[in-house]
Amino acid sequence: MYLIAMENSYSEELRRKLESGEISQGLYDEIMKRWGSQESKTEEEKEQFSENDQAREGTTSISGSGHLSNVISEILKISGSGHVSGYVDVDTMKVSGSGHVEGNISVSGELETSGSLASGGSIKAGSIDSSGSLKAQSIKAENIDSSGSLRVDGDIEAQTMDISGSCVAENVVCDDFECSGMLKAKTLKGSGVEISGGIRVDSVECDSFYMSIDTSTNRNTIGKLICTEAKIETRRRFFKSSVEIDELVCKEADLESVKAKKVVGDEVVVGNGCEIDYVEARVLKTSGDAVIREKKILE
């Protein structure tokens, strides 16, 4: 019931942002399509997460080495080496050792892991706090805070994400996304995106994009960036760091240390460290040692 209430609350918040103009209709439709509804669950999920409507009671613990089949409990704790051959359906799950679940994991409250947790299926949780290693086929949660290693074969869907470690996924859909670690994905979609670490993403679509370029040796790359406003700046100007973008489409852009093939926008500011092959804008301003090889000013 918690997950149903969580999804309803999230849907209402997205509707409010759409009506107030904070997010576009296209972004709203995309998030709602991916988030889905309780009624859209497959029969397999319903069977696994509501088997016999068994009540969650008590605490299940593994402090040494243990093997379990299906776990339906109020709390599941793994502080040793634990293996679950079936699924997990609990209110709270804590892993400080090594845990492996062959099936899906459903946690109505908080999933906390400071050790290693791997799921052969999907993970659905109210919130996830991971400082260790977390692997799954897909993840859906309201809030995700990861300072360790997060690896997902498929999609990650969340309302808020804070990544200070490494995150690898196919697609990420998140309303508010912050990354001071390293993100590798095919697509990233959300309302607000803030990057102060590294990024390698084929496509980013959001309302607001902010990046403070790190001084690390990571190669930052974005295939296509579509947003309402973009601000990219360097953290320390005496270091030569940059982000490579194939195409940037926006209304407003304030850029530093960007190497881009094409930039299209209404108001574009191209500053220090920028090398751009082609800029198309209604208002274009340049400063510092910016290089623009070709430009077109729209009427």
pLDDT tens digits, one per residue of 257-277: 999 999 999 999 999 999 999
For the chain, the residue count is 299
Q: Determine the pLDDT at residue 20.
A: 75
Q: Number of C-alpha atoms within 13 angstroms, CB side, residue 78?
A: 25
pLDDT tens-digit readout, 226-239: 999 999 998 765 55
Query: Phi first, then psi: what are they for 281, rounded to 5°?
Result: -155, 160
pLDDT score, position 43: 47
Handedness of CA 239, 245, 246, 251 (dihedral sign): negative
Q: What is the pLDDT of residues 52-91, one digit of tens each?
A: 346 677 899 888 889 999 999 999 999 989 999 999 999 9
Using alpha carbons only, what angle is made at residue 220 by residues 265 and 250, rounded to the nearest 5 degrees?
Answer: 10
User: What residues contact residue 223 under an 8 Å CB cut-off, 6+ apart?
Assistant: 201, 202, 203, 245, 246, 247
Q: What mean pLDDT is predicted for residues 194-203?
A: 95
> What are the backbone angles phi and psi of residue 158, rounded to the nearest 5°?
-155, 165
Nearest 5 degrees, angle CA 187-CA 119-CA 53?
110
The lowest-confidence range among 130-134, 192-196, 238-242, 267-271 is 238-242
* Residue % of the chain over a pLDDT of 90: 70
Mean pLDDT of 92-119: 96
- SS3 call for 86: coil
Query: How does the average pLDDT of the chain come out, rounded?
Result: 87
Residue 39: phi, psi to the nearest 5?
-70, -20
Element of type H or E holding 173? strand 171-179
Tell me the average pLDDT across 152-166.
97
Q: Give the pLDDT confidence score for residue 19 in this predicted structure.
A: 75
Domain limits, the chain: 1-40, 42-125, 154-299
C-alpha distance from residue 148 to each of 92, 115, 163 (Å): 20, 9, 8
CA-based R_g, the chain, Å: 22
**CB distance 135 to 113 below 8 Å:** no
Higher pLDDT, 244 or 298: 244
Alpha helices in the chain (DSSP H): 2-19, 25-35, 43-49
